[in-house]
Chain A
Amino acid sequence: MDKRYVYMDYNATTPLREEVKAAMVEDMDVYANASSIHEAGRRAWGRVELARGKVASLIGSKDPKSIVFTSGGSESNNTVFNTMYDLGRKEDGTLGERCKIITTSIEHPCVMNAARRLADEGFPVVFLKVDGTGRIDLDELRRELDPSRSAGGPTLLVSVMTANNEIGTIQDIASIAAMAKAAGALVHSDAVQAAGKIPIDVEAWSLDYLTLSCHKIYGPKGIGALYVRKGARAEPLIRGGHQEMGIRAGTYNNQGILGFGLAAELAQRDLASLAARLRSLRERLRDKIVARIPDVRVNGHPTEVLPNTLNVSFPGAEGEAILLSLDLEGIEVSTGSACASGSLDPSHVLMATGVGPELAHGSIRFSLGRLTTAEDVDYVADKLEPIIARLRRMSTVSSKVE
């Protein structure tokens, strides 16, 4: 079999779409500051506003002004938690009556660490557990939202990611938001991994905040957005000029914003067909792995899962060794192993789903995307089988799933 180059790490980032790249290159000559009120400035501003509408449309918002452009997902998430730092305290700096924060134990590190910072500042913060499939327990959420049945007082914010980056599990955001709203809380969802893969509807779900990143939807890096429902408060992380309704200062990133707009438009146009195609490729890959390699465990939810994300544990083999073996064959994936992350602990997401450290260390995430083909999937399955067999042969650890 000829060696191929197979990129299966689309959840890490995606290649820039040709159309987006071309539009951005063309826009490079539009140097005017979109805040300037002369003609060139107005023309640049027009492009920014057109893009804003396209990003709003991707997530079901009819209000383009609800979109605040940021540098990416981490900044958007931090803006929300930083806002809670203000909303949760009284003028004298002490904690207000409503200051409880509810999030989950499987969020992206930027949410986890922003929430931990609030906990360090004295806020009551709850990290909801997830079940073996990666979903939160709605009864536990209901209990945490009820001050008569849990500690911490009334809830200020519920922040639950739409879909998980590592295992792809999709949460029931509509139900979560309805419960949070009924308890008087604000609702945020980190939709960085969900955007472009599943339909998002901030209005139907009645969210207050939603986080987006452009480079996960075949656009450029360094640009993202925060949806802020009309009337919801948002405090700037970066203070300065009046850009972005005063929520995010800094000169407009014209090319990034333009690229984001086009990427969002194309993502919305292609969503249904791309999701259907990727779902079938994901199933093909899963079925081949399960049929050909003994003692594997498919992680995440069996049905409520992103169409492109397949997370599999290979007990007895270690993730970094699997990843680098695949890399030598031209296949690029990621792992939940500690050895690949530079930390000592394996994936907090897999550990939260209750798989032991051994299954977490031996996990591989295959994330498929626009350019993935059936031939790529077959190539990966063919190469994976002898790699796992070889690593297991030299392993001290049994491959049996307990």
Chain B
Amino acid sequence: MSDAFEWLYSPIVKEHFTNPKNVFDPDEGFEPDAQGVVGNIKCGDQMMFMLKIKDDRIADVRWKTYGCASAIASTSMLSEVIKGMPLRDAYTIKPSDIASRLGGLPENKIHCSVLGDKALRAAIDSYLEKTGRPGAFKGEDAVVICNCLNITDRDIEQAVKDGARNWEQLQAATKIGTVCGGCKPRAEELLHELVHIYGD
């Protein structure tokens, strides 16, 4: 008999939290071809992905996470999903894909704890840079936020990574919302979320 109050999250989250897969073990001698870290200790979550890459496919993966149970579980789930996956496909995995594979996460956990996709992209970006193809997947699967100037969620993410912390700085970096301004509410929401992840 299932009991909705038995645990805070889904049974899949519980399984990945109690038995996480592919956790980095310093004694194992795992030597990654690329790694990426994303997260903000102020928010309470930080994630690191380490990848072994062969023929532009993820051959193996390890990770570390400082974070809550859903953060640990979603990183574990992501690490399972991307094994054997072409880099290009792994690059476009979205937090919602991981959340649904976990049997759902509470709304307030999706943005804060599923940083795994961003850590993964950071690792892939560093690999692309190392292999002489910087930014090769930029724009893949990006969602256009500002239709007037064709500015995507990835452009906003990059601007925040480069230091934009408020609307004025984001506009200075991207010119977003300088034509009709209709994208401002959505863009500000995204900005707020990203500043929380990348801000210091």
Contacts and interface: CB of A to CB of B under 8 A. Distances in A.
A309 interface: no
Interface residues of A, number: 24
A396 interface: yes
A358 interface: yes
Interface of A is mostly: helix
Contacts of B20: 394
A30 B13 CA distance: 49
A395 B8 contact: no
B24 A357 contact: no
A328 interface: yes
A339 B64 contact: no
B17 A344 contact: no
B172 interface: no
Contact of A358 (B23, B41, B64): B41
B7 to A, nearest CB: 8
A318 B64 CA distance: 13
A266 interface: no
Interface stretch (B43-51, B125-133, B144-152, B173-181): B43-51
Contacts of B64: 394-396
Interface stretch (B67-75, B82-90, B182-190): B67-75
Given A321-B67, A324-B17, A394 B72 contact: yes
Nearest to B40: A357
A318 B37 contact: no
A320 interface: yes
B52 interface: no
B44 A338 contact: yes
Contact of B66 (A338, A346, A397): A397
B interface bracket (residues with beta carbon within 8 Å of A):
20 to 34
B66 A357 contact: no
B37 A357 contact: no
A395 B65 contact: yes
Contacts of B39: 396
A325 to B, nearest CB: 8
B44 to A, nearest CB: 4
A28 to B, nearest CB: 28
Contacts of B23: 393-394
A316 interface: yes
A344 B47 contact: no
Nearest to B13: A324
Contacts of A358: 41
Contacts of B17: 321, 324
Contacts of B44: 318-320, 337-339, 346, 357, 361
The residue in B48, B65, B71, B196 that gathers the most chain A C-beta atoms within 10 A of its C-beta is B65
B113 A318 contact: no
A328 B8 CA distance: 11
Nearest to B26: A393
B42 A339 contact: no
Nearest to B42: A357
Given A320-B68, A324-B69, A339-B113, A394 B8 contact: no
A308 to B, nearest CB: 25
B158 interface: no
A339 B37 contact: no
Interface in A387-402: 393-397
Nearest to A398: B66
B53 interface: no
Contacts of B41: 357-358, 361, 397
A302 interface: no
B112 interface: yes
Interface of A: 316-321, 324-325, 328, 337-340, 342, 344, 346, 357-358, 361, 393-397
Q: Sorted from nearest, which 9 A-B pairs have the closest CB atoms? A: A339-B68, A320-B68, A397-B66, A361-B44, A395-B66, A357-B42, A396-B64, A396-B46, A324-B69
29 contacts: A316-B66, A317-B66, A318-B44, A318-B66, A319-B68, A320-B68, A320-B69, A321-B17, A321-B69, A324-B8, A328-B18, A338-B43, A339-B44, A339-B45, A340-B68, A346-B44, A358-B41, A361-B41, A393-B23, A393-B25, A394-B20, A394-B23, A394-B64, A394-B72, A395-B64, A396-B39, A396-B66, A397-B46, A397-B66
Interface of B: 7-8, 17-18, 20, 23-25, 37, 39, 41-48, 64-69, 71-72, 108-109, 112-113, 196
